[in-house]
Amino acid sequence: MAEDSVLLREGLSRLLGEAGFEVVAQCGDADELMLKVRSYALDVAIVDIRLPPTHSDEGLRAALEIRASHPSVGVLVLSQYVELGLAMKLLADSAEGVGYLLKDRISDVKDFVSSVRRVADGGSALDPIIVSTLLSRQRDDDPLTELTPRERDVLVLMAEGSSNQGIADKLVITTRAVEKYVSTIFAKLGLPSTGTESRRVLAVLAFLRA
């Protein structure tokens, strides 16, 4: 974990330890983070997007280096604000094993722990505000305008990394209804339905990046 706030770093370490994770290293800057990444066999690295010395994008650059040099390591980036350009850099190549959450999201411990576990397992975890911002970006030929409000709700939850069952629980509908919505969404967006959660999130993100 790389976070320059000692209080937050210690708090997250304790929280994750209580959830069954082994926190093998805590770092205060990007250089120390990269040293630890090379020293341990990690499942996931949690990285503040802004680290010393300049607190600009050191954390993001470290996250990109981890994804390039250690593709088996999941990377969950934390940010204080919505920084869409930095988020898109992180998602430029793939959404597998990657997460981008606002720090306010940590207050929901259950969701935060679930996000860390999902990224560690090779899935994705995107903050709902990030997804909403991406979906609000209009294109002249934007096929998102063809989606119904309910289909948009399903698409948002898909992009956040929710499974069909998770979507059904949150929207209080049946999994069969979710499957129909997903199929319709892919058809309207011109995207192939691949049948796996991580690949369908990749497809959605690929469309949003277009």
Tell me, yes or no, whether 1 lies in a domain.
no
Distance CA 177, CA 175 (A): 5
Tell me, yes or no, whether 197 lies in a domain.
yes
Q: What is the pLDDT of residue 29?
A: 94
Whether residues 60 and 162 fall in one domain:
no
How does pLDDT run across 46-63, given as a tens digit for each residue? 999 999 988 888 999 999
Q: What is the pLDDT of residue 160?
A: 78
pLDDT band per the 50, 70, 90 thresholds, residue 145: confident
pLDDT band per the 50, 70, 90 thresholds, residue 65: very high
**pLDDT of residue 138 exceeding 80:** no
Distance CA 121, CA 115 (A): 10
Q: Of 127, 152, 174, which one is at a domain's C-terminal end?
A: 127
CATH number for 150:
1.10.10.10
Whether residues 70 and 161 fall in one domain:
no
Residue 142 φ/ψ region, left for φ over 0, alpha for ψ in the -120 to 50 degree band, beta for the rest:
beta
Whether residues 145 and 52 fall in one domain:
no
Q: Which of 46, 67, 74, 49 is CA-nearest to residue 59?
A: 49
Whether residues 116 and 54 fall in one domain:
yes
Whether residues 176 and 196 fall in one domain:
yes
Q: What is the pLDDT of residue 188?
A: 82
Range of the domain at 190: 138-209
Whether residues 119 and 153 fall in one domain:
no
The pLDDT mean for the chain works out to 86
More confident residue, 98 or 92: 98
More confident residue, 62 or 90: 62
Portion of the chain with pLDDT greater than 70, in percent: 87
Whether residues 196 and 106 fall in one domain:
no
pTM, two decimal places? 0.77
Tell me, yes or no, whether 132 lies in a domain.
no
Whether residues 78 and 168 fall in one domain:
no
Q: Of 127, 158, 191, which one is at a domain's C-terminal end?
A: 127
Whether residues 151 and 115 fall in one domain:
no
CATH number for 121:
3.40.50.2300
Residue 40 φ/ψ region, left for φ over 0, alpha for ψ in the -120 to 50 degree band, beta for the rest:
beta
Whether the upstream peptide bond of residue 149 has omega within 30° of 0, thus cis, is no
Whether residues 158 and 58 fall in one domain:
no
